[in-house]
Amino acid sequence: MLFDLSKSIEILERTPTVLKTLLSNLSPEWTHQNEGGETWSPYEVIGHLIHGEKTDWMVRTQLILSQEENKTFLPFDRFAQLNEGVKKNLSALLDEFQALREENLAALKAMDISPANLEATGIHPALGKVTLAQLLSCWTVHDLGHIVQITRVMAKQYKDEVGPWIEYLSVLHK
Amino acid sequence: MLFDLSKSIEILERTPTVLKTLLSNLSPEWTHQNEGGETWSPYEVIGHLIHGEKTDWMVRTQLILSQEENKTFLPFDRFAQLNEGVKKNLSALLDEFQALREENLAALKAMDISPANLEATGIHPALGKVTLAQLLSCWTVHDLGHIVQITRVMAKQYKDEVGPWIEYLSVLHK
């Protein structure tokens, strides 16, 4: 499948509702436990997604399409959500993510991006030159990857409860 | 986390709506492509979930709690959905899955399962003796594992589109 802006937006606009449907009003045993060690709980993943809406995807999109001479992205802090002072509850975080995503997609659509725009480039601080199409593809895959992570973390909470079925449940082996 | 019937139902009752929110009205490039070879598309996974509602989880629950002498489960055909004659569209399958799941959860709640019931056992044709708590844990993890699979398959459709970011997107490495 080749990059397609409208097909990317199909995914990006669903993610907040998917996460609300999956996580709202669940017991904290499902939402606030991780996979062990320094891994993230579903709650922490939502904080990470919020940080991306604020500082990553659209900021970089705007930089790529701007008249700035220096198109090097600021590094993205992948652990920012772990260092926040006051902890909001999960329901507030899900609402915040949805509102930020709606604003960002409205802004993205208003940019009326052309095929030539999609080939415009910026400089990733570690990966080097990247195109706008690659950035928007990455945003889409990043959403799906974190839904994978959240549901895998939830599944693992029952790792010791499935008895001999563990052999067939490959999600528990990862 | 120890097995808890009400916490399992929290997951089981959300799955049909999560899948509808994720998949309804998506372009077929997201829903009808697989991970290569003999792997399943999201569409095929929904067929598999429907087959489980019809022939697996509640049939086995009822057998475990019945007066039958022979409590050996019938084998579950994990590939049944691939051999169906007439293909329904995805929207019809999502509705069918939701209706079957609602019926099954209503039946499960009506059984008024006691802690002693949860220790009752049946015989899995390959895995041997299993408890009802293990069966219901497996049902829950099975749902989550297939949400993992569906979102991973979708992410992989953009594997060649993310450029150098592939290094950071572990969902594309699996």
**What is the ipTM metric for this complex?**
0.96
pTM listed for this prediction:
0.97
Give the separation between CA B68 and CA B136, rounded to whole angstroms. Answer: 20
Residue owning tokens 């055909």:
B77
- Of chain B residues 130-159, which have a CB less than 8 A from chain A? 130-131, 133-134, 137-138, 140-142, 144-145, 147-149, 151-152, 154-155, 157-158
Q: What sign for the dihedral angle of Cα B135, B136, B137, B141?
A: positive
pLDDT at site A87:
82
Q: CA-to-CA distance for A21 and B101, rounded, in angstroms?
A: 16
Q: Collapsing DSSP states into helix, strand and coil, what is residue A92?
A: helix
Beta strands in B15-165 (DSSP E): 121-124, 128-131
The list of chain B residues with pLDDT below 70 reads 84-86
Q: Which of B21, B149, B170 is facing A17, going by the closest CB pair? A: B21
User: B58-91, pLDDT tens digit by residue?
Assistant: 999 999 999 999 999 998 887 777 776 568 999 9
Give the whole-angstrom CA distance, residue B12 versus residue A149: 18
pLDDT in tens, A56-111: 999 999 999 999 999 999 988 877 777 765 689 999 999 999 999 999 999 999 99
Q: What is the pLDDT of residue B85?
A: 58
Q: Verify whether the Cβ–Cβ distance A145 to B169 is below 8 Å.
A: yes
Q: Which helix (H) or strand (E) holds A104?
A: helix A90-110
How crowded is the C-beta side of B53, counted as CA atoms within 13 Å?
Answer: 26
Residues in chain B: 174
Q: Which residue has the higher pLDDT, A174 or B164?
A: B164
Q: Is the dihedral of CA A75, A76, A79, A82 positive or negative?
A: positive
Q: Using CB atoms and an 8 Å cut-off, which of residues 1-20 of chain B contact chain A?
A: 1-4, 7, 10-11, 14, 17-18
B26 Cβ under 8 Å from any chain A Cβ: yes
Q: Do B171 and A158 touch (CB under 8 A)?
A: no
Interface residue B163 vs chain A (CB under 8 A): yes
B-chain CB neighbours of A169 within 8 Å are 138, 141-142, 145
Helix (H) and strand (E) counts in chain A? 7, 2
SS3 state of residue B101 = helix
Tell me which residue has tokens 């907040």.
A16
Dump pLDDT digits (tens) for A10-65: 999 999 999 999 999 999 999 999 999 999 999 999 999 999 999 999 999 999 99
What's the pLDDT score for residue A85?
58
**Cβ contact A164:B141 at 8 Å:** no
Neighbours of B141 (CB within 10 A): 26
Quote the minimal CA–CA distance from A84 to chain B in Å: 24
